Every structure is written in structure tokens, then in C-alpha cells.
Structure 1
Amino acid sequence: MDIILLLLLAINIFALLIMFIDKRRAKKHKFRISEKTIFIIAAIGGSIGIYLGMFLFHHKTKHLKFIIGIPIIIVLQGFLIYYLR
């Protein structure tokens, strides 16, 4: 179980970093990380990191699919964890 928690911590730190990088790229008008990639990272366990990054970096907070979609992924992952225990 400890390895799973470490993996989740790592993917969420990675997700937070992705949001930081994408925000910096957006400000500099450079090549961006696709929204599809951000949602995939959230779906594989980085949803908390993506959500924190949205508000820490004020990134994607005006996009309805992120405001609604990421919390839905978090809730679904919570149910999944609850039922797999």
C-alpha cells in the first residue's frame, strides 16, 4: 500500500508541475500542453494535483470543462478507492 501512496504522490506532484509549465507557456505564447493530456493525467491519478494547480496558478479556471470535469474525476476516484479497499 505504501508504494501506491508514493505513486499517487508522485503523479500529483507531476500534475501540479504540468499546470505550472502550461501556465508559463500560456503567458509566453509558446507551445502548450493539450487539454486532453491534462485530463489523462488527472484520470490516471493526478486529479488533486491538477485541481490544486488550477487555483494556485489561476490556470484553466474559466474553462467549464475543467471547473466541472476535474472535481467529477476526483469524486469518481474517491468512490473507486472506497470500493477497492
Structure 2
Amino acid sequence: MDKLIIYLICINILGAVLDGVTAARRRRTSHKALSVLLGIIAIAGGGPGMIIAFALCDRTASKTNMMLRVFTVCVCVIELAVFMTWKLRPAGKWNFAFWDVFVEYRWTLWFVAAVSVVTFVMFGIDKYRAIKGGYRIPIAVLLGMAFAGGSIGALLGMVVFRHKIRKNYFSVGVPLILVMQVVLLMCVVNLL
């Protein structure tokens, strides 16, 4: 077996086990050192194992684990997109003109614009409900909309409504989601 495959299997098992242990500890206390270690493992290639552990051991989305989830998913998607592009891209130079996708496939621009507008409105509604004390939009829904293509609307909503700017899973997570989407778009451009 290739050394890279063995390394990836080991780092993913380590990430899954450590995330399972962290999920058990997190119910009692929040341990930042373990979260930092899990972030390093995600960067090192253990993201898929950690995502499996999220699904099996720690299904509840809470404020204590949201930043680690956003970070792990973004890093995993970036690593997977870059790896797939590296392996499948035809020989030649890299193409960084990602606007070509929006010109050639106009529906993608309309999709991103629509999801961004909906996300922006959702941030406004959530801010209004926060002020008035009404039912709030869940954190996972707001981050999910940003992940689904509305990261620009989420950033604008955070700035315009001054909403969720103190929460690290938004102030760091939404720009990270935007970076992930740009990297993913550039990888798609290079595969087309």
C-alpha cells in the first residue's frame, strides 16, 4: 500500500477517535486544547474521519462545537477539491479565471445571488427577532445557508445588521466558508 494512503487512514482514525473523546468530554466541559489539536488534525488530512465522528458520536450542534465543525468541513472540502483537481486536471497551466463559470453558466450566478439575498434577509430577521425576543433562526440554519452558496449574503448581513459578529463560528467561519467556495470554484474551473 502507498505510504500516503496509510498516513491518511491513520490520521483519519486518530481524528475520529479524538473527536469521539472530545464529544464525550464536551458534554461536561469545554476543552480548548483538544479543539486546537483536532483543528491541526483536520488540516493534516483527518477531516473525513472527524466528520464521520460528528455524525456518529456528536449529532447535536451546540455553540461549543460549532466552530470546530465549520472549520473541519471547510478544510476537508478544500483539501478534497485541491486533491481531485491535482489528480484529474489535464496537463497545462492552472486557470484562475473563475468568472468564466458565471459567464458560461449564468444560472450559477443567479443561484449564488438568490441564496445570498435569502441569507441576508435571514440575518436581518434573526437580528430583529433577537431585539424583540422572538423565535430565533438556529445557528446551523444560518451557517448552512452560508455553506449552500450564501456566504456573501451572510457577510453582508453580519456587517449591515451588526449581527453575530462576536461569535467566532460566524466571524471566522463565514469568511472561511467563502474561501472554501472560491477554492472549490477555481478547482471546478480547472476541471472543466
1:10 aligns to 2:114 (yes or no): yes
Q: Distance in 1 between matches of 2:164 and 2:114?
A: 22
1:62 aligns to 2:158 (yes or no): no
State the Cα deviation string for residues 1-36 of structure 1 (Å, max 9, x = none): 111110110000001000000000000000000000
1:25 aligns to 2:25 (yes or no): no
> How far 1:65 sits from its partner (Å)?
1.2
Give the count of matched residue pairs.
85
State the Cα deviation string for residues 44-85 of structure 1 (Å, max 9, x = none): 100110011001000001111111100100000000001101
Q: Distance in 1 between matches of 2:114 and 2:170?
A: 21
Report the equivalent of 1:46: 150
Q: Distance in 2 between matches of 1:59 and 1:33?
A: 12
TM-score in terms of structure 1 length: 0.98
Q: Distance in 2 between matches of 1:43 and 1:65?
A: 12
Radius of gyration: which is bigger?
Answer: 2
Structure 2: 5+ residue stretches without partners: 1-104
Q: Which amino acid in structure 2 is aligned with residue 12 of structure 1?
A: S
Q: Distance in 1 between matches of 2:147 and 2:165?
A: 18
Q: Which amino acid in structure 2 is aligned with residue 3 of structure 1?
A: W
Report the equivalent of 1:71: 175
Structure 1: 5+ residue stretches without partners: none
TM-score in terms of structure 2 length: 0.44
Q: Distance in 2 between matches of 1:4 and 1:78?
A: 13
Q: Which amino acid in structure 2 is aligned with residue 75 of structure 1?
A: V
Q: Distance in 2 between matches of 1:4 and 1:72?
A: 20
Moved over 6 A (4+): none
Q: Pick the aligned partner of 1:80 from 148, 161, 184.
A: 184
> Identity of paired residues, percent?
34
Q: Distance in 2 between matches of 1:60 and 1:48?
A: 15
| RMSD value, Cα | 0.5
